[in-house]
Structure 1
Amino acid sequence: MVHGGAAGHGWGAYWFVAVALFASTVSPYEVFFFSSGGVEERWGSADLANARSSVLVGFPVGGFLALSLVATAAVVFHPEGVTLDSLAQVAHPVVLAFGGVGLAVAALAFFAVTFGAALETGLSAAYAAAQYFGWQWGKWVRPREAARFHSVLLVSVLLGVLMLLTTVDPIQLTEYMLVLSAVVLPLTYLPILIVANDRTYLGDRVNGRLVNLLGSVFLLVIVVASVAAIPLAVATGMGR
C-alpha cells in the first residue's frame, strides 16, 4: 500500500498507513479462524510449543517480510511518485533483481498468499456465523451434516471472486476493510486478555504479571489505533 501523495499530507498519511498495516497483522478474522481451528483440532498442552514457535518465529519473519516490501516500495516507487494498483507492479522489483526466476517465485508466492487468505477468511466467516446461530460446524464435518456452515464458506469465497470481476478497486476496498478492522480490534482483543487470566478455562496456564503488563500495553496501542483510524482516514483521504 503505497501512495504517491503521502508526502503531501505530511505525517498524517504515514500514521494512517501505520494503523492500516497494524490492523492487517491482528485482524479480527484471524481470532475466529485460529481459535475455532484450535477447538476443532483439539489443541492441548502438547501444542503450546508449536503455538509459541508460531508467535516467536513466524510472526517476526512475517513482519520482516512485510517491512521488506514497504522498504522496497519506498526505494523503488516512492521517488517516482508511483501508486501501486496491481500485483504486477509489486513483483517488478523482484524481476529487476532476480529476472525470470524471481518472477516465478513471486507468482508462486502470490498464489500461496491469496489462496491461503481466501481459505482463512472464508472459514472465519463460516465459523463466526455457525457459532453465532448455533449451527453444526467444522471443516472436517461432512457438508450434509453441516450444510449451512459449508454454504457460508462457499458463498464467502464466491462473493470475493465476484467482487474481483467488478470495477471495484480491490486495493482501495482492502484499505477500507483495514480501517474497519482497526476500529473493532479492542472488541476482539479485550476478551482474549480476560480469558487469558481466567483459571476456570486455563488453570495454571493463565498469564503472569509480565505477560499481563505487555498485554495491557498492547491493548492500549490497539485502543489508540482504533480511535485514530477513522479520523486519520478522513483527514488524509485514505492516505492519499
Structure 2
Amino acid sequence: MFTLALSLISPAEAEKAPQKKLIPEGVMNITKENTYPNPNQDEPLLQPSDLAKNLIQSSRVKIENPNLIRMLNETSISTTPFALGYKAIIYLGQWPLNYESAETSPNWEYQRINTNYYDNRGGEKPYQIHYVQEAQKVINGGLTAKVPNADEVKKMMLIKAAGKTNLPLAFETVIGLGTKKDQIYNIPRKRLGYLYAYAPAINEKGKITYGEVYLVLKGNKKSLVIKNVTSQGIGAWIPIQDYVSFSFAASERPR
C-alpha cells in the first residue's frame, strides 16, 4: 500500500486513537472470547518504487487505488540518451482513482445476532444471566449502490473508515457459536429478562473518482495523464469486527 497516497490521519490525530468516546459503554470487545477466529483485515504497506512515486506525483488527479499503485510498481521503463523526439501514449484502462470520505458514523445496532432470555415471573429473587451466542452468525456489509470495480472501491473505503475510527473493520465478520461474555445482567423477580446482542457497523459515505489512465512517454520524460474524470457519491456498511453491542430489558409481559 502506498503510504503517501493513502495517508488518512495526521500524527496528532493518530495519537488520539482509538476514539474511546466513540464506543458506548454497552459495546464490548469479544476478540478473546469469539469462538470463530476472524482473519485480520489490516492491509500490508505497499512501498512505491521510485518510478511509481514519480508517476503518481505527475498526475493532476490524486491516485489512492492500491491495485493501480501495485501495477505501477511492477512497471519498468528503459530510457536511452538518444530518445529525443520519441513519444508514446499507453492506455492503462479506466480505474477508480481515489475515494474522498464525507461522513463516517457508527450504528451500534446494525444487526441483531442473539437473544438470551429467561422467565423469572415465578421467581422470588433476581436471576442472573449473561451473554451466550446460541448460533453462529455471519455479518455482511457492502456498498449501497452498484459501481464499476466494486472490490477496489470497497478496499479504498475500508482503508479510509478504518483510519478515521481506528476500529477493526471488515466487510464480513463472524460471531462463533458458544461465544460468551461474563458481564452479569439481573432479572428482577416476577419479570422476564431479555439480553439482546447486536453486531455494530460503520456507515461510510463519500465520493469515488474514476478516470482513464494514460502513461505518456516523451523523450526521457514519463508521466500519467488522466482523462474523462467522473465522480459519484457512494456509501457502504462496514461491520466492526469482534465487537458486540448489548441491550438488556426486563418486562412483565413477553416482548
- Structure with the greater relative contact order (CA < 8 A, sep ≥ 6): 1 or 2? 1
What is the TM-score with the length of structure 2 in the denominator? 0.25
What is the TM-score with the length of structure 1 in the denominator? 0.26
Task: Determine which structure has the larger strand proportion and give its number.
Answer: 2
Task: Determine which structure has the larger helix proportion and give its number.
Answer: 1
